[in-house]
Structure 1
Amino acid sequence: MLPLFSLCPLSCGLAALALLLAVPAHSQTNAAPTDQFITGADLSFLPHYEKKDVRYFDEGKADDLLKIAKRNGWRIVRVRLWVSPEDKPEYQVSNLENVALLGQRIKATGLQFLLDIHYSDVWADPGHQKKPAEWENLTFPQLVERVRDYSRVVIMHLRENDAMPDIVQVGNEIKNGFLYGSGLNGAGNQLGGGFWEPDKGGIERGLRLFEAGVKGVREASPLAPPQIMLHIPDGQDTGFIKWYFSLLDTTVQDAKPKLSLDYDLIGLSYYPSAPWDRKAGYEPWHMSHLTNSMSYLATRGKPIMVVESNWPHAGKVQAELSGAPEFEFSPEGQAKFYQALIGAVRAIPNGLGRGVLAWETDTLNWDSVFDAKGNALPAVRALGEK
């Protein structure tokens, strides 16, 4: 076991059918109970924008964004955590010390707290799962132990600072692997878990790292552990979803020594109008694709959340599409998108739909639920509707 003081620098302290919401909840077969369904947003950048004097308004009155969220019926806020982020103000909000401070505010406001551990010094996503700089040269057994230790220390620190998360993502969008190096062809791939190399054991290594993270989280709070989420992207891609979970099942079944895949929730990203996908002839993913994926996932018996999603309220995006989008790119269209998404998740078979979170609604960007001046758009209320 490596010394705990090396886990992070001293300075860090220790995310359907159109308008499904229009269908009354009581008429939805096996819909998730309202009291179990949670909605909200990722607000990881909030402290950064507050320091830049960005203000948020609800019905013309400036207020703390967390209070606006609570008042409009949101129930959960998601915050990402990086190990040793670069010394930039917008990145430092994601170190452990600042995440704990935001977590305190979230809990004090009466909201639930979803912690998104990236296990990286920077963004982790389908194309990037870069190991923290301090972990780059560890052997694989050392890396497994480090992930477990780091996860335990993080949760203990948050618990001791009145910022205990209700849900913890062990990894972010782990589609292609987990902690596999500097990139798909980066150094250290053989020591991490690259899912694209099943014949070289990358999948099993990735799951052993995931297993280690889960163990660390649970060890830090054995009496009342947070729920563990497995988070993957491309929720609209049913073919990928089926392949992915089949791969996980086979790997767990064949693993020696025994491998556990211990998690409580499935988290999905769903970006039907992602800017990186816009090109000639592109049409956004219809929500029915997501519905198909979620219906399949329901057969696995795990509750499901969409933890990253958004839809534009403005911009030139619509002109770049070859066909009519499912919803207008307007404040009203954005609200209808979130209403439909909430309805689709609530309608997951067997009552397994658990919630929806919007992505980066604190940014005042073209896809935020606040306009460029910080005024709440109709989607703020739509996200609080049940």
Structure 2
Amino acid sequence: MKDQKVVINKIPSMTDQAIRGVDVSSYQSLKDAGVKFYDYNGNEESLMKVLADQGVNYIRIRIWNDPKSASGQYYGGGNNDVAQDLKIAQEASQYGIKILLDFHYSDFWADPAQQILPKAWKGHSQDQLKQDVYNFTTDTLKKFKDAGSNIGMVQIGNEITNGIMGQTTNRDAGESYKGVWLNADKRNKVIRYLRSASKAVRDEDKDTLITVHIETPEIPKYNDIMSALKDGHVDYDVLGSSYYPFWSVSAKSNTPDTLNKVASLAEEKYGKLFAVMETAWVNSLKNGDSTPNSIGESQNNWTNTKDFSVGPQGQVDELESLYNNLMSHNNGLGAFYWEPAWIPTVAGWRNGEKDKENAEKLGVVGLHQEP
């Protein structure tokens, strides 16, 4: 890997202002587990310095409310409560890196498959939930501001395609995103949560960019959701999208052509900036830790690696393709590569028990796919 030659072409539209971002949410928990990072000379070094030296100017950090069980054990996946994330942000600030705070408004992963209400908010009325969102957002932003973090962007919800905070589609019944966004009752509740989150950000700093994040770029879906946001008077600046070219290939969703169409939709119809909140490509199809790979050697029409080669060159090619398309639009801001530093705490899939022990004590496990 070290001696493998990688060809990097110039991206004509790339500027110093473009977001060259990475999501490093697991970083502090990896350090807590004893993982070390090194520069290109083989010297132990701060990951943030290594990233800054390579041109990274933004990091994305997910925020969970209370990622612990009743007995105080972390759920795993990085232990991204506010205290943990502050440590990451403070280190990043030493090297002039901006921060994107990714509020999940949940105690653990929030994505199209699950949007679970935080434990502390269960049983609250709709009015109280709105206040919960506002208070948690405000309190968190104040803590980061007091710590000297340069917060350039705030994401109000994570991949909210199928809803947020327990107001979701009925996936068991086969409902699509329409089960929330075209359902008046659920949609109005989601809109109120988002408006409360947005107001909290604006009240803290009117210049911070606010992002609404949905996934798997598809024009009808994105148009329906953005239309609902517009009708609901949700105040935001950026349409954020996940973009993984190894997923949904047969549906032609995670493709450069669809990405271009979504960027145009955001600008021309809704007047919004556009950024890719998550992207990645596979380094290897082999398993290197205790968890299964998301994309393995067995592939199909929905998950495959046909678009780029597997390995470092393919990773470079995927990013070049993404940026060449994204930055050709007036509203294109840039992208965040998802968790490139999330490496196994203990190398080798045979060491699964040690990985699990680290998860329980430190809130981190090996990544599901080589980043």
| Larger deviation, residues 313-322 vs 40-49 | 313-322
2:341 to 362, 371, 377: 362
Determine which structure has greater relative contact order: mean sequence separation of CA pairs < 8 Å that are 6+ residues apart, divided by chain length: 1
Residue 159 of structure 2 aligns with which residue?
173
Cα displacement string for residues 28-74 of structure 1 (whole angstroms, at most 9, x for unaligned residues): xxxxx713211121000001111222233342423211111100011
Distance 1:45 1:209, change over 3 A: same
Gaps of 5+ in 1: 1-18, 26-32, 187-192, 253-259, 366-379, 381-386
1:44 to 9, 21, 25: 25
The Cα of 1:147 is off from its aligned counterpart by 0.9
Is contact 2:98-2:149 (8 Å) kept? no
- Aligned amino acid, residue 221 of structure 1: D
Does residue 294 (structure 1) correspond to residue 263 (structure 2)? The answer is: yes
Distance 2:80 2:305 in 1: 38
**Percentage of pairs with the same residue:** 25
Distance 1:20 1:220, change over 3 A: same
- Aligned amino acid, residue 264 of structure 1: D
Residue 263 of structure 1 aligns with which residue?
236
Residue 50 of structure 2 aligns with which residue?
68
Distance 1:141 1:113 in 2: 30
| SS state at 1:68 partner | helix
Distance 1:328 1:284 in 2: 19
The Cα of 1:184 is off from its aligned counterpart by 4.3
Does residue 84 (structure 1) correspond to residue 57 (structure 2)? The answer is: no
1:117 to 79, 103, 111: 103
Is contact 2:156-2:210 (8 Å) kept? yes
| SS state at 1:167 partner | strand
The Cα of 1:20 is off from its aligned counterpart by 11
| Larger deviation, residues 74-83 vs 226-235 | 226-235
| SS state at 2:180 partner | coil
The Cα of 1:175 is off from its aligned counterpart by 0.9
User: CA-atom RMSD, angstroms?
Assistant: 2.8
Per the normalisation by structure 2, the TM-score is 0.77
Distance 1:109 1:24 in 2: 26
Is contact 2:64-2:103 (8 Å) kept? yes
- The total of aligned residue pairs comes to 317
Residue 96 of structure 1 aligns with which residue?
82
Distance 1:151 1:50, change over 3 A: same
Residue 15 of structure 2 aligns with which residue?
34
1:221 to 205, 212, 224: 205
Residue 145 of structure 1 aligns with which residue?
131
Distance 1:202 1:283 in 2: 29
Distance 1:324 1:231 in 2: 25
Distance 2:179 2:192 in 1: 12
Gaps of 5+ in 2: 1-6, 172-176, 287-295, 345-370
Cα displacement string for residues 311-331 of structure 1 (whole angstroms, at most 9, x for unaligned residues): 112116465246871111121
The Cα of 1:337 is off from its aligned counterpart by 0.8
Q: Where in structure 1 do 4 or more consecutive aligned residues deviate above 6 Å?
A: 281-284
Distance 1:176 1:89 in 2: 23
Per the normalisation by structure 1, the TM-score is 0.75
Residue 348 of structure 2 aligns with which residue?
none
Distance 1:159 1:200, change over 3 A: same
Distance 1:194 1:136 in 2: 25
What does residue range 1-386 of structure 1 map to in structure 2 within 5 Å?
A: 24-25=12-13, 34-61=15-42, 62-86=44-68, 87-88=73-74, 90=76, 93-180=79-166, 184=169, 196=180, 198-221=182-205, 225-235=207-217, 237-249=218-230, 251-252=231-232, 260-274=233-247, 285-299=254-268, 300-315=270-285, 317=296, 320-321=299-300, 325-348=306-329, 351-364=330-343
Distance 2:151 2:128 in 1: 26
Distance 1:215 1:160 in 2: 20
Is contact 1:177-1:194 (8 Å) kept? no
Distance 2:89 2:132 in 1: 24
| SS state at 1:36 partner | coil
- Aligned amino acid, residue 356 of structure 1: A
